[in-house]
Each structure stands twice: as structure tokens, then as C-alpha cells.
Amino acid sequence: MTSPKIDPPKVDAPKPDPIDLAVFQSAVHSIAEEMGAALRRTALSPNIKERRDYSCAIFDSAARVIAMGDHMPVHLGSMPMSVQAAVNAIDFAPGDIAILNDPYAGGTHLPDITMVLPVFLSGADRPAFYVSNRAHHADVGGAFPGSMGPAREIYQEGIRIPPVRIVRSGQLDRDILDLILLNVRTPQEREGDLESQIGACRVGEQRMLELAARYGNQKMHALIDEILNYSERLVRAELRKMPAGSFTAEDWMDDDGVTDTPHKIAVELQFNPEGASLRVDFTGSSPQVAGSINAVRAITLSACFYMLRCLLAEDAPATAGILRPLTLHTTPGTIVDALPPAPVAGGNVETSQRIVDVLLCALAQAVPERVPAASAGTMSNLTIGGIDPRTGTPFTYYETTAGGMGARPSLDGISGVQTHMTNSLNTPIEALEYAYPLRLRRYGYRRGSGGAGQFRGGDGLIREIELLADAQVTLLAERRKFRPYGLEGGEEGGAGRAWTITSRRPATSDGTEEAELPGKCTRMLSKGEILHLETPGGGGWGRPLT
């Protein structure tokens, strides 16, 4: 009688050396940063080249994010769901690149187009990694120039792209590209930006292959597992410091652009320090609405990721491990978990900011000494589209406008800065006036708009843009009715405002007329008219010293 075969005991791989882990963490982060630099240098549109409205990240073979560039929080926290959607939909082969922008497949809103490239090691039949980037395109079609208007359903917001291959076996699929370009107002610019995204993915692929060759397969997997575990340990260590219990907050969206009715976002944070875990519950938030301020679940998860990341040190790795201690509850069909065909353009840029506001407001009840007052709470989105008289071709300009940062427990807020879910820059005046038939008449701080307090909120901005051609102007902004809150007795920041200035030139007068604009609107303006925009200031922290 023969003895049964007994497999040798499995020996756990040794834990990676801390120095190796630190070097690896820096290496994958630098690859994401290099992808962003390549995208920025080669893009055509000012929105990507100048404002840096893009994000890049690296994923392992299981589509778990292992590194993010220092880019846009609203992109990065939701990008893993887009990558997973592409992996689920496509049987990738070497040389393929997927494209998608569907908000209901892990996307944010239609202007944010994502590319996903699988990285195959030599002789492998499945990807070892994925590299991905996401960029905001200044127009993807739809009813409004810039694709950010007051739509009633997602079909009015532009072309919706499911996960499909735009590159097959290394060759551009011209049919897919032509289908996209035929549905946008600025096809030449879009083609240039899409090709830049493809190029950035290939930069990431080359660098990951070099990294894999340096470390070897076994060591790479051990480092990846450890970096994910390390992120998780850092978050759990912070959660163990939190007071046990539930902390709630609510805030309101001004309106949805269709009616004047406010819409509530409510949250409950349930800390379990003993289990080092957190449950975030958005029960009580308003049902999804007719206007475009609906946020898909990916946006809400992205805001939660951002909050947890803010609890960590700056050098902590931003990986999928951060979300392991989190349980997120949302109700499908609500403003924080919208279902098709709800429009979502504003959910990405405006509702995401309010979700962060309520998360931080609830967090401030648990650890008031660590949380700033509310920042501007709006990206103050502006799109302008028409025919450029210099070329006779369509143009679409898009920009988010900075506001005031909320005061901190020991410092004043910063004035005129992009905060929370956005991390973009402004379009330099020279670039703006070169690229578009526009003239910037005024640009500066909105003095006194920050909330008073022991520490004062940062001031918002004032911008005046003169149209040098007839154009359609669309505004998508918040914090007109519900101002940025203060904390610990600090006062609210100033509300945002906007109006148009129309010159009158009768024989006896050179006066002007002003027309107030709601936060969400679209208007046809004539050459010579001026848009005046004032962004909110941040809330104050602590009672004002008198």
C-alpha cells in the first residue's frame, strides 16, 4: 500500500523590506506622475494643457489601484470602477486600449473620458497591470456647447461611450474614433487630446514593464500586496483614534437648475474604533432630480476615499487599501446614487463638493480640532461656445473658477484656490485670449468674502470676461442660497454671484445694464457683453475675536 501524496507546506513569502517598499511606492507614484506630464505636454486643449484637468493611476492584475498621481480627487477615487468596468467588458489582448466615459459604468460625467491599457509581461496570457488616465474634454457633444448645460436627461449631455477598444493590437480603431469625433463640436481638438491620452498610457506601460524587469514577478506581487496592506493599516490606525458612535450632518444643494427647490444631502458616520472600521450612510438624501446635479455612486465613493485620504499623512500611499475599512450605504435612485437616464454633469463637479462638505461637517463633530470650515463648495463651472470669427470654426471654452478655502483650526483659509474634489489650475490669461475670442477684463480677489472667525475663511475671486463674438454662455454653480458654513462659532463665507453687463451707447449716454444670473443657466450673449462672476468665500473657524 502506497502512502498518499502530501504536498509540501506552503511557505509565506517574506515580508518586503521597508526600504524596498518605500522605493517601490515612490516608483509607481512617479510613473503615474510621468503619465500626467506626458498628457499635459502633448494635449491640444487649454483645459488639459493649462488647467491640468486630468488624472492618472496604476492598477494591479486584479484592477486594484496601487498608485495615483497628484491629480484630481474626483477622478481618482472613481477611476477604479471604470477600470473594473473595462476589465469586465473586454477580453484584453496585448496592444489593446479601452475607452469609456459612461457615468453608469464607473465614470463621473460625460466630458471625463477614461483610457485603460492592459500591461502584459512577456509570454503572459493575462495582464499583469493596468494603466489608466482620465481627462476632461471641453466638449463631447449634446445640447449645450461644452456639454455642461442644464440637461433633463443624460442623452442631452453628449456622446456616451461604453467600454470599447479604441486601439486593437497596437492599431488605432479609426471607426470608433470617427464615431466619437462626428458627435462633438471641436473634433480636431478632441482628436489631439484623445491621442495624447493614448500616448500617456503607453508611457505608463513602458515604465511598468521596466519596473517588472527590475523586481521580478514574485517580488512585485509581494510589494503590491504589502503596499495595499500598508494603506489599510494607516487608515485603521486613524479610525482607532476616533470616538465611538454616530455623527450626522446635512447640507443642501441650492436647486437643480429646473426648479428652485433645494435638495438635501444627509450623512451619518458610524465609527467603530474597536474594529477600526467606518460605516458611511447617506440615507435621507433627496431622490434624484430632473436637473444635472445627480451624482452616481462612483462619485460618492470617491468623496469618501478623499475624506479618508485626508486623515493620513501626505506621503501615505493612495491605494485601494484605503477603502478596506469602509462600508458605504447609499440608496439607488437618490441624488448620491443616481440611476439612468438621470443627467449627471453637475453631479461630478457640484454635488461631489457638497458630499465632501457634509462628510467633513460630520467628521468635525468627532474630531473638531482636525477639520476646516467649509470651502467655497462649488467649482463655479463656466462654458462658452460659439463660432470663432478669427477662424470661422466652432470653439468651446470650459473652466472651473477657484474660491475661498475654509479656515482651519489654527490657520486662516487660503484665498482663490481650488479645493477638495478639484485640483486644477486656472487658464492663464495669455492662453485664454490666444485660444478663444474672449478678453479678460478683471481678475482678482473678492475682498471680505471669507467668513469671519478666530481664523478667517479665504476670499473668493472676481472674474470679468468680455465676449469678442456672439456665444452661448452656460453657468453651473452652487452656494448661492446656502453659504459655506463656519465651524466652532466661525461665520459663513460669502455667497457666489454672477451677472451680465451690457453696454448701452445712445447719443447721450455710455451707461450699462446689468442682469443677475442664477447659479445654473444658459444664455445667448452678444459680442461686447461681459460676464461678471464672483465665487464664494470659505467659512470661518472659531468665534471672531472682539
Cell of 150: 442644464
Could you tell me which residues are beta bridge partners of residue 55? 134
Output the pLDDT for position 76. 84
Could you tell me which residues are beta bridge partners of residue 59? 65, 130
Measure the CA–CA gap between 327 and 63, rounded to whole angstroms: 19
Measure the CA–CA gap between 370 and 7, rounded to whole angstroms: 53
Each of the 546 residues of the chain gets a pLDDT tens digit; together they read: 333 333 333 445 578 888 999 999 999 999 999 999 999 999 999 999 999 999 999 999 999 999 999 888 888 888 999 999 999 999 999 999 999 999 999 899 999 999 999 999 998 999 999 999 999 999 999 999 999 999 999 999 999 999 999 999 999 999 999 999 999 999 999 999 999 999 999 999 999 999 999 999 889 999 999 999 999 999 999 999 999 999 999 999 999 999 999 999 999 999 999 999 999 999 999 999 999 999 999 999 999 999 999 999 999 999 999 999 999 999 999 999 999 999 999 999 999 999 999 999 999 999 999 999 999 999 999 999 999 999 999 999 999 999 999 999 999 999 999 999 998 999 999 999 999 999 999 999 999 999 999 999 999 999 999 999 999 999 999 999 999 999 999 999 999 999 999 975 444 455 678 899 999 999 999 999 999 999 999 999 999 987
The string over 20-29, giving b where at least 16 C-beta atoms fall within 10 Å of a residue's C-beta and e elsewhere, is: ebeebbebbb
Measure the CA–CA gap between 432 and 289, rounded to whole angstroms: 34
Specify the length of the chain in residues: 546
Task: DSSP letter for 80, please.
Answer: H
Could you tell me which residues are beta bridge partners of residue 381? 476
* Residue whose cell numbers read 502584459: 120
Alpha carbons within 13 A on the beta-carbon side of 240:
8
Measure the CA–CA gap between 161 and 197, rounded to whole angstroms: 16
* Residue whose cell numbers read 460625467: 109
Distance of CA 11 to the CA centre of its chain: 43
3-state SS class at 249:
strand
| H helix intervals, 45-186 | 46-49, 73-76, 79-89, 174-181
The neighbour count for residue 421, using CB atoms within 10 Å, is 26
Cell of 119: 500591461
8 A C-beta contact, residue 384 and residue 471: yes
Contacts of 18 (CB under 8 A, 6+ apart): none
Q: What is the pTM of this model?
A: 0.94
Measure the CA–CA gap between 474 and 257, rounded to whole angstroms: 11
Q: Pairing mode, if any, of strands 65-68 and 97-100? A: unpaired
Could you tell me which residues are beta bridge partners of residue 169? none
Distance of CA 137 to the CA centre of its chain: 13
8 A C-beta contact, residue 229 and residue 26: no
Distance of CA 103 to the CA centre of its chain: 13
8 A C-beta contact, residue 114 and residue 133: yes
Measure the CA–CA gap between 227 and 90, rounded to whole angstroms: 27
Output the pLDDT for position 280. 98
| H helix intervals, 12-93 | 18-42, 46-49, 73-76, 79-89
8 A C-beta contact, residue 63 and residue 87: yes
Q: Pairing mode, if any, of strands 277-281 and 326-329? A: parallel
Measure the CA–CA gap between 88 and 98, rounded to whole angstroms: 12
Cell of 255: 436647486
Helix H or strand E encompassing 346: helix 345-346
Measure the CA–CA gap between 303 and 294, rounded to whole angstroms: 14
Measure the CA–CA gap between 341 and 407, rounded to whole angstroms: 38
Output the pLDDT for position 87. 97
Task: DSSP letter for 455, please.
Answer: B
* Cα distances (Å, whole numbers) of residue 523 to 140, 243, 312, 383, 515: 19, 50, 44, 11, 11
Measure the CA–CA gap between 56 and 400, rounded to whole angstroms: 20
Could you tell me which residues are beta bridge partners of residue 373? none
What amino acid occupies position 106?
G
The neighbour count for residue 327, using CB atoms within 10 Å, is 13
8 A C-beta contact, residue 360 and residue 307: yes
Cell of 15: 515580508
* Cα distances (Å, whole numbers) of residue 221 to 109, 114, 211: 33, 26, 12
Helices (H) and strands (E) in the chain, counts: 11, 20
* Residue whose cell numbers read 485626508: 310
Output the pLDDT for position 386. 98
8 A C-beta contact, residue 308 and residue 237: no
Measure the CA–CA gap between 57 and 35, rounded to whole angstroms: 9
